[in-house]
């Protein structure tokens, strides 16, 4: 039982750390994309392909 609890805790830590890293990457991409959109010409914005 102790081993199972430890395994669950460790897997939770790994999953949480992975989720945090993914969210950080996504936020960085959004900020980078916003920054690029601010400098993009108006003709490129709002066009669906």
What does the pLDDT read at residue 6?
94
What does the pLDDT read at residue 2?
85
Q: Rounded to whole angstroms, what are the CA distances from 44 to 25, 39, 41, 48? A: 25, 11, 6, 10
Confidence band, pLDDT 50/70/90 cuts, at residue 1: confident
Q: pLDDT tens-digit profile of 7-48?
A: 999 999 999 999 999 999 888 877 776 666 665 555 555 555
Q: What is the pTM of this model?
A: 0.54
Cβ neighbours of residue 37 under 8 Å, at least 6 residues apart?
45
């Amino acid at each position: 039982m102790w081993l199972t609890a430890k395994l669950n805790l460790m897997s939770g830590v790994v999953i949480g750390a992975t989720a945090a890293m993914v969210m950080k990457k996504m936020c960085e991409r959004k900020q980078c994309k916003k920054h690029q959109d601010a400098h993009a010409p108006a003709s490129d914005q709002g066009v669906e392909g």
